[in-house]
Amino acid sequence: MNKPVKILSVAVPVPLSRLFDYRLDENSEELDCNPGQRVWVSFGNRKLVGVIVEINEQSDLELSKIKSVLQLLDPELSIPESLMRLCTWAASYYHYPIGEVFSAAIPALLRSEKPVPIPQITRIALTTEGEQTDPGTITRSPKQQQLLEYLQQNQRCNLSAIQQLSLAGSPLQSLIKKGLAEKLQVDEKFESEDLDTALLAESNLALNSEQQVALDTITQQLDQYRCYLLEGVTGSGKTEVYLQAMEKVLQNGQQVLVLIPEIGLTPQTMSRFQNRFNCPQTVLHSGRTEKQRLRGWQQALSGHAKIVIGTRSAIFTPFANLGLIIIDEEHDASLKQQEGFRYSARDLAITRAHQQKIPVILGSATPCLESLYNADQNRYTKLELTQRAGEASKPVFRVVDLRGRPLDGGMSQPLVQLIRQHIEQNNQVLIFLNRRGFAPVLMCHECGWISECRNCDTRMTLHHSPYYLHCHHCDHKRSVEKQCPECKTKELNPVGLGTERAEQVLQELFPDTPVMRVDRDSTRRKNTFEKMLAEIQTGEPCILIGTQMLAKGHHFPHVTLAAILDADSALYSSDFRGMEKMGQLLTQVAGRAGREKKQGEVAIQTHEPNHPLLHLLFQEGYPSFARELLKERRLTGFPPNGYIALIHAQSTFREKAEELLQTLSDVLPTDPATEVLGPIPSAMERRAGRYRFQLLLRSDSRQTLHTTLNQCLQFFESHKIDRNVRWQLDVDPVELF
């Protein structure tokens, strides 16, 4: 009988919060294995790729009941210990099944047992004949002669080297034809290279004194954990501080991870990193192919890529020698995964830095209240940049009182005049409206019928070009009714304002000025956004109308007026973070106006011109505004002055979703330290055909909250749950409803 020699505890991608034991028998070909290595195992009647978490001599189970591992997979693609620790921590903190955490953390190609294709590169080599030919004998073609000489000195060189010499075309073809050279496909190796002396491809800017203080503070102690909150107004030169801190880390031979929000991932941003450093860099985001992602993963793991820039999921990149993490726009909501494994890349980055004993920099013009609070508590070191770099000055704010004023396409007369002034002075104008489409509602003038979505408790948005109705929540599309389905009259009117309609109205008001719309619809086609950006950079007068896409990250030096058409929807938001988000957005939009030498203006249209928080924001800026909001949070016990989690349930049957949460809430031990609120319906109760309910847990203590969450998990695992109901936990949710 075979005696099992090793018991492997494996994280298998199934929705259960535990590891599973498998055995590795003596007659297996390979006995050598390591935690982090992938294995192919059978689970029920499926075969899955899991990750070894522990290796033991014994198991609590009877040996005969333990299945054998089907296959150990490529040890070179094992998850390093540092990333294992992060994933294990994440599984426990987010109460998410550990096997699914690992599965989410690795590139899709590693979720299969199939051998990973090793990328090939082309090398040019000489044949024996080529080695022995005297280049002097090729008299008729100096270029072929030059190439042969080059190849004799540089055996097996990269094709790119020959391309740089402009010899890759016909000279190379000729040598191949003559049987002197050949093309070879070889495995690409991701070896770590020592950087040559010239790390900087362009020189650093001379820092102003605030930047210098920030840089010195960060680089003083690069060999230990510390979280730095770099709070700097838009245009104050945060990126320059990042770049110079990175330089020090790279010089120490270490790698850097830079996380940026989805919207910030523009060619403009990328090129600032690429232009500064001469070293292998990798970009990881959802737009990459699976092969590219795997390649980036391997390059970081081997130490070859020195800089990894990516969106939220890049926090799970393995590194050979990570030395610094930077999170730009740390307040951005896209850093939180909002479905499935709901993690915060910002919070994971801080945990990772702590685990790996390295510094982490959180940068923002408008830090989230959690980070400001942590800085107040001295958990983070706050560094401030208060001056805009260069000669730019602070914008002037104007509140446009909408009460009693007629609107044309959402624009009041004073705003139209303001736009006109700026255009006449040959400047650019940016108008912000966070609603795409033509109009949010189509309504019958006769009977009040409204274009509702059949799957959701919401209205279908009317789009004009092309002409159709679209639900932005479940993606349902349908053609526009020719007459009212209720009363059959033809008086169907668009109500409300979207970017498409605002664009139309602006173009009518300013027929001689180009109006450009920037939203997810207008930029769907590849490169359209880049083309628009290029046109904007020319500096010709134009009007830009768009959604959030316009508010962040871009550098528009010729914009002198930024206008917010509708501040009210944020002022009346029911989310506890509504005000915070509005303040961040207004500040970001304001940061677009008046960069470089031109004085900027910011106009806000509202029915509540005397709102004290708006005034605080405009007169004293985001820091004072945030301080006021923190006071409110202290009274309500919401984050950062308390901890919350949401439990979601959804079902095609209303009662079933509600009932599951009710039962849970009934069985939870009544611990006065954790408040349980609900179940209540989600703000949009029915979405994509499913009814949604939620239970809110709140506690003053993180530990107490997590004890309660463990009890919830026990309930879900022991309770027989109707197959029609799905549930999910969201720890530290960013959106409550």
Nearer to Zn ion (CB atom), residue 308 or residue 484: 484
Nearer to Zn ion (CB atom), residue 443 or residue 545: 443
Q: Chain-centre distance of CA 682, in angstroms?
A: 25
**Binding mask of the shown chain, residues 535 to 574, with x at each position contacting Zn ion by CB under 5 A:** ----------------------------------------
**What is the strand order of the sheet 20-25 is part of?**
20-25, 4-11, 46-56, 38-43, 71-72
Stretch that binds Zn ion, among 250-258, 302-310, 344-352, 487-495 (CB under 5 A): 487-495
DSSP per position, 75-128: GGGPPPHHHHHHHHHHHHHTT--HHHHHHHHS-GGGGSSSPPPPPEEEEEEE-H
Quick one: what does residue 208 bind among Zn ion, ligand ADP, none, with the CB cut-off 5 to 8 Å set by partner type? ligand ADP
Identify the helix (H) or strand (E) that includes residue 356: helix 345-356
Distance CA 113, CA 120 (A): 21
Nearer to ligand ADP (CB atom), residue 336 or residue 592: 592
Nearer to ligand ADP (CB atom), residue 275 or residue 286: 275
Q: Are 552 and 266 a contacting pair, CB within 8 Å?
A: no
Residue 442 interacts with Zn ion (CB under 5 A): yes or no: no
Residue 101 interacts with Zn ion (CB under 5 A): yes or no: no
- Smallest distance, ligand ADP to C-beta of residue 119, A: 34
Quick one: what does residue 453 bind among Zn ion, ligand ADP, none, with the CB cut-off 5 to 8 Å set by partner type? Zn ion
Residue 474 interacts with Zn ion (CB under 5 A): yes or no: yes
Residue 422 interacts with Zn ion (CB under 5 A): yes or no: no
Closest Cα partner for 721 from 667, 659, 652, 648?
Answer: 659
Cα–Cα distance list, 730 to 73, 669, 671 (Å): 33, 20, 20
Nearer to ligand ADP (CB atom), residue 234 or residue 344: 234
Distance CA 482, CA 6 (A): 71
Stretch that binds Zn ion, among 317-325, 423-431, 478-486, 591-599 (CB under 5 A): 478-486
- Smallest distance, Zn ion to C-beta of residue 446, A: 4
- Tokens at 445, concatenated: 């003038």
Residue 472 interacts with Zn ion (CB under 5 A): yes or no: no
Q: Which residue is nearest to ligand ADP (CB)?
A: 237
Q: Are 27 and 2 a contacting pair, CB within 8 Å?
A: yes
Residues in the chain: 737
Quick one: what does residue 240 bind among Zn ion, ligand ADP, none, with the CB cut-off 5 to 8 Å set by partner type? ligand ADP
HSE-CB of 136 using CA atoms within 13 angstroms: 1
Stretch that binds Zn ion, among 13-21, 74-82, 443-451, 726-734 (CB under 5 A): 443-451
Nearer to ligand ADP (CB atom), residue 169 or residue 390: 390
Nearer to ligand ADP (CB atom), residue 15 or residue 267: 267
Quick one: what does residue 239 bind among Zn ion, ligand ADP, none, with the CB cut-off 5 to 8 Å set by partner type? ligand ADP
Distance CA 689, CA 656 (A): 14
Helices (H), 558-670: 568-571, 578-591, 612-620, 622-636, 654-667
Quick one: what does residue 456 bind among Zn ion, ligand ADP, none, with the CB cut-off 5 to 8 Å set by partner type? Zn ion
- Smallest distance, Zn ion to C-beta of residue 441, A: 13
DSSP 8-state assignment for residue 206: P
The β-bridge relationship of strands 359-364 and 226-232 is: parallel
For Zn ion (CB under 5 A), the number of binding residues is 14
DSSP per position, 379-395: SSEEEEE-SPSTT--PP
Q: Chain-centre distance of CA 693, in angstroms?
A: 27
Quick one: what does residue 554 bind among Zn ion, ligand ADP, none, with the CB cut-off 5 to 8 Å set by partner type? none
Residue 450 interacts with Zn ion (CB under 5 A): yes or no: no
Residue 447 interacts with Zn ion (CB under 5 A): yes or no: yes
Nearer to Zn ion (CB atom), residue 179 or residue 485: 485
Nearer to ligand ADP (CB atom), residue 328 or residue 601: 328
**Residue type for 476, please?**
H
Among 471, 564, 725, 729, binds Zn ion (CB under 5 A): 471
Distance CA 625, CA 627 (A): 5
Distance CA 497, CA 453 (A): 18
- Smallest distance, ligand ADP to C-beta of residue 269, A: 9
Quick one: what does residue 674 bind among Zn ion, ligand ADP, none, with the CB cut-off 5 to 8 Å set by partner type? none
Q: Are 565 and 431 a contacting pair, CB within 8 Å?
A: yes
Distance CA 605, CA 619 (A): 17
Helices (H), 377-463: 413-424
Q: Are 585 and 551 a contacting pair, CB within 8 Å?
A: yes
Nearer to ligand ADP (CB atom), residue 145 or residue 239: 239
Radius of gyration, CA atoms only, the chain: 30
Cα of first residue to Cα of last residue in the chain, in angstroms, is 59
Residue 686 interacts with Zn ion (CB under 5 A): yes or no: no
Residue 473 interacts with Zn ion (CB under 5 A): yes or no: yes
- Tokens at 253, concatenated: 């031979």
- Tokens at 535, concatenated: 């046109």
Quick one: what does residue 484 bind among Zn ion, ligand ADP, none, with the CB cut-off 5 to 8 Å set by partner type? Zn ion
Locate the DSSP E strands across 481-600. Answer: 492-495, 515-518, 543-546, 559-564
Nearer to ligand ADP (CB atom), residue 207 or residue 416: 207
Nearer to Zn ion (CB atom), residue 484 or residue 561: 484
Quick one: what does residue 238 bind among ligand ADP, Zn ion, none, with the CB cut-off 5 to 8 Å set by partner type? ligand ADP
Among 16, 184, 487, 667, binds Zn ion (CB under 5 A): 487
Distance CA 463, CA 470 (A): 7
**Residue type for 402, please?**
L
Query: Which residues, 6 or more positions from 300, have their beta carbon under 8 angstroms from its beta carbon?
Result: 255, 282, 308, 317, 318, 319, 320
Among 324, 444, 604, 647, binds Zn ion (CB under 5 A): 444
Quick one: what does residue 10 bind among Zn ion, ligand ADP, none, with the CB cut-off 5 to 8 Å set by partner type? none
Quick one: what does residue 455 bind among Zn ion, ligand ADP, none, with the CB cut-off 5 to 8 Å set by partner type? Zn ion
- Smallest distance, ligand ADP to C-beta of residue 207, A: 5
- Smallest distance, ligand ADP to C-beta of residue 691, A: 43
**Binding mask of the shown chain, residues 257 to 296, with x at each position contacting Zn ion by CB under 5 A:** ----------------------------------------
- CA triple 676-677-681, angle to 5 deg: 140
Quick one: what does residue 179 bind among ligand ADP, Zn ion, none, with the CB cut-off 5 to 8 Å set by partner type? none
The β-bridge relationship of strands 46-56 and 4-11 is: antiparallel
- Smallest distance, ligand ADP to C-beta of residue 530, A: 19
Burial tier of 659 (Cβ tally within 10 Å: 0-12, 13-18, 19+):
middle
Among 113, 149, 262, 446, binds Zn ion (CB under 5 A): 446
Stretch that binds Zn ion, among 143-151, 276-284, 411-419, 484-492 (CB under 5 A): 484-492
Among 141, 321, 455, 662, binds Zn ion (CB under 5 A): 455
Closest Cα partner for 696 from 645, 643, 633, 642?
Answer: 645
Residue 485 interacts with Zn ion (CB under 5 A): yes or no: no
- Smallest distance, ligand ADP to C-beta of residue 306, A: 21
- Smallest distance, ligand ADP to C-beta of residue 323, A: 21
Residues that bind ligand ADP (CB under 6 A): 205-208, 211, 232, 234-240, 389-390
- Smallest distance, ligand ADP to C-beta of residue 233, A: 7
Question: Given the rule CB under 5 A, which residues bind Zn ion?
Answer: 444, 446-447, 449, 453, 455-456, 471, 473-474, 476, 484, 486-487
